[in-house]
Amino acid sequence: MAAPPATDPRTTLRSGLPDRYLTPEDLVTLFALESVETVYAWRRKRTGPPGIRIGKHLRYDPAAVYRWVQEQADDD
């Protein structure tokens, strides 16, 4: 299996927070979700990491995604 590309959000989160906002597609890759529709459903239900609108685009602050992951781990 090939190593993930350098822009892969899994790689950047392991080595530190990425220097860019994450896209819904990045979250699909990061969490190995089946589709981007899962990310949108989380947003509608307010159960996923907090997202922000930048123009017409939905983006996620890597620090907020990291905190959300930690909160999920704390709930277990």
d(CA 38, CA 29): 12
Fold of 11-75: Arc Repressor Mutant, subunit A (1.10.10)
d(CA 21, CA 19): 7
Q: pLDDT digit string (tens) for 29-71?
A: 999 999 999 999 999 999 999 999 999 999 999 999 999 999 9
For position 43, what pLDDT does the model report?
95
CB atoms within 10 A of CB 18: 17
User: If residue 54 lies in a helix (H) or strand (E), which one and from where to where?
Assistant: strand 51-54
Residue extents of the structural domains in the chain: 11-75
Q: pLDDT digit string (tens) for 1-37?
A: 555 555 676 665 556 667 789 999 999 999 999 999 9
For position 57, what pLDDT does the model report?
95
For position 74, what pLDDT does the model report?
85
